Structure 1
Amino acid sequence: MKKSLIFLLILKILSACSASKEKMQMERTSNEDGIKFTYKPEDSLFSGFQLKVIPIDYRLEVTEEKIQVIADYITNAFPENEITFELKNRIEFVDSGVNLETISCSHCGSIIESELWQEEMTKAHKADFEDMDFITPCCKKEESLNNLKYNTEAGFSKYQVTIINPDYNKVNYAEFVTLLEKQTGIKMKLIWAKY
């Protein structure tokens, strides 16, 4: 029931966006994890370079109205790029791919070993990332996986927009995120990823 409501919501929003765009194809895929729509202009190029947009508050439930504003704004800002809009049934880690090299404690700055991080991520994943707290080995303080210092931005969210192969020089990204936040009232995070 919930999955079909989410599907109808996103379909309605993205249909409204697509009505004003020529030569656009919208692809829908769904599975037990959630629903994904892909905006794919005819001349778009695929690459392993991506810009991901997520809310900073990983617990935020994005409303229908906000999703429509986000979809309109981003497809207008990147009309020539392939863009995916994903709404998951549960919180997921949104990574930066090969750009992620080090993870540090937010309390003392010590490097968190990847084996420990992966172990804590596995535990948190089993609980759908509802509890991300653990005790750091470095300073023995309570820490959240969400608050760790990733050398490149990363985060957690149910909602994610991915822009494929954005031209870094065509858009002022500080202005892009500021305007998006003003229009939605949602604090956003940009994650530059490479795969």
Structure 2
Amino acid sequence: MSETVLYVIPSDPYFQPDQAANSRAVAQVEELVPDALGDIETDLSDALVFVHGTGLESVSCPACGTQLDFPGWWMAAMDEAFRDGSTTGLAVKVPCCGSDTTLNDLVYNVPSGFARYRIRVWSPNRRMLDDEELAGIGAALGRPVRQIWSLV
């Protein structure tokens, strides 16, 4: 049986909060998911992690909107970024229009992103967070945040 997981990650994939900011952000999330059926956890990592929503099927260019070769070009870009188990950087040049961007800033068909820090809520028992709620978590954390919903 699948379980719904809500991830809250900073928009800046390299950001890691101090303990006070982490505590404020977790407290904010706890207020927003009072009926969660599972735990609320945080992860801090030296390495970037790709956090993707359920149903990831396509990736588009943020500059021109062209749908990119997925998984072909995208997987090659991921392999380059994570060669030898270390992050060489998320910067990419998209093949459609030649724009410089990052893997984090590509337009995924479902919210997705990279993070060294994430808040994970198991079975949040609610619908998506609205912009005001996300802004509140971001203010507590000290950085804007994204939400990603996944089934595991």
After TM superposition, the score normalised by the length of structure 2 is 0.84
CA contact (8 A) 2:16 2:44 kept: no
- The one-letter amino acid paired with 2:121 is I
Q: Which residue of 2 aligns with 1:178?
A: 135
Shift of 1:164: 1.6
SS of the aligned residue for 1:192 comes to strand
* Counterpart selection for 1:69 from 1, 9, 24: 24
Cα deviations by residue, 1:112-140 (Å, 9 ceiling, x for unpaired): 11111011101101273342222222112
The Cα RMSD (Å) is 2.2
1:104 aligns with 2:39: no
Moved over 4 A (4+): none
1:158 aligns with 2:116: yes
Distance 1:101 1:194 in 2: 15
Cα deviations by residue, 1:24-82 (Å, 9 ceiling, x for unpaired): xxxxxxxxxxxxxxxxxxxxxx8432111001111212111111112222234334432
Shift of 1:172: 5.3
Unpaired runs of at least 5, structure 1: 1-45
Aligned residue pair count: 148
> Which one scores higher on RCO, CA 8 angstroms, separation ≥ 6?
2
- The one-letter amino acid paired with 2:67 is I
Unpaired runs of at least 5, structure 2: none
Instruction: State the structure with more CA Rg.
Output: 1
After TM superposition, the score normalised by the length of structure 1 is 0.67
